[in-house]
Amino acid sequence: MKVSIIPEHCIACGLCQTYSPVFDYDDDGIVIFSQSNKRELELPHEPNIIKAVKECPTKALLLD
């Protein structure tokens, strides 16, 4: 599944990383992928990743 990050929407709440280690934060606390500097990645279809995306309060994470 494709997951996209929209850093402009991120409020640095930290919720996504609590659900999945796929997500990390830059020096300003804005979400990034932990293993890539891309804004879009193909990730495994895992419940914890899906939950992280769905629970993002600002929709800074998207599933395609």
Residue 28 binned pLDDT confidence (cut-offs 50, 70, 90): very high
CATH 3.40.50.2300: does it fit domain 2-63?
Answer: no
Q: Averaged over 10-33, what is the pLDDT?
A: 96
Is the full-model pTM beyond 0.85?
yes
Long-range contacts of 11-15 (CB under 8 A, 24+ apart): 11/57, 11/58, 11/60, 13/57, 13/58, 15/52, 15/55, 15/56, 15/57
% of the chain exceeding 90 in pLDDT: 98
pLDDT at residue 39 in the model: 97
Domain boundaries along the sequence of the chain: 2-63
% of the chain exceeding 70 in pLDDT: 100
